[in-house]
Amino acid sequence: MARLSVNVDHVATVRQARQASEPDPVTAALMAEIAGADGITVHLREDRRHIQDRDLFILRKTIKTRLNLEMSAAKEMLDVALGVKPGMVTIVPEKRRELTTEGGLDLRAHHEHLKGFTSALKDGGISVNLFIDPSPDIVKMCQRLGADGVELHTGRYAGAPARKERDAELKKVRDCASLARRLNLKVHAGHGLDYSNIKEVAQIGEIEEFAIGFSIIARSVYTGIEQAVREMVALVR
C-alpha cells in the first residue's frame, strides 16, 4: 500500500502573496496528518518564495509523520538540513525563474558534487532521495552515488498531451520503478499528479510513496484540506 506525503508549499504561496501570517502551512500540515497523510513535504527554495525557514523549524517539531525536505544541492541548504534533521531529504534541481521544478537532476554534470553532498547528508543521519527523470541509466547512477532512493519525476506523464505519449511516459515510470526496486533503492514518485492521473501510477506496486502538492491544495480551496487529503489518500492506496 503506497504512502502519501502531502506537499504544503502552496499554502505558503498564498500566505506570501500578502506577506501575512495566514494561511499557515504548519496548520495545514497538521490537518493533513489528521486526514491520513503519511508524511509532509516542503521545498525550501533558495529564493524563499513560499516555505520559510520558520515553517521548516516548526514542522520538524510538530508533525508526527515523516518530514521530507526538498532542496537544491547548495551549501546553504546542506547546513539547514543538518541543523533541522528532517526524516529525509529529496535533492532537486532548482532554477530561479521556473514556476516549479522543471526536470530531474543532471547526475552526469554534477556527479562528484552530488556524491559528496549525499554522503554528507547520510553522515548526518538523513535518508537521501534523488529526484530524477525516469531513465534506466539515471536510476543506476543513483545507486552508484550512494542514494537511499529515487523520486521518479512524473511531470511528463502528467502533462502528456495525448494517450500515446502518456502511455509511453507511464511505461518509463513503471520500468524505472521496477529497476530501482531491484537495485534496492526506495521508490517514490511525484510531480503534476492529480485526482485523475494518479490512478494509473498508483497501480505500480513498486512505488512506495507519492509526493503530491498542487492538486491537493487547489482542491482544498473548495472542499477544505481534510477532505482533499482523504480523497487522495484513498486513491493512492
- What x-and-dash track marks residues 54-73 binding ligand PXP by CB under 6 A? ----------------x---
Residue 191 catalytic?
Answer: yes
CA distance 148 to 112: 17
104 binds ligand PXP (CB under 6 A): no
129 binds ligand PXP (CB under 6 A): no
The CA distances from residue 225 to 201, 215, 220, 221, in Å, are 23, 11, 4, 8
Residue 188 catalytic?
Answer: no
192 binds ligand PXP (CB under 6 A): yes
Out of 23, 25, 39, 213, the residue judged to bind ligand PXP by CB under 6 A: 213
CA distance 225 to 165: 32
Closest CA to 11 of 210, 220, 193: 220
Phi and psi at residue 67, to the nearest 5°: -95, 125
User: How many residues bind to ligand PXP according to rule CB under 6 A?
Assistant: 19
DSSP 107: T
CA distance 59 to 159: 31
- What x-and-dash track marks residues 136-175 binding ligand PXP by CB under 6 A? ---------------x------------------------
Residue 110 catalytic?
Answer: no
- Binding interface with ligand PXP (CB under 6 A): 7, 9, 43, 70, 90, 92, 100-101, 131, 151, 190-193, 211-215
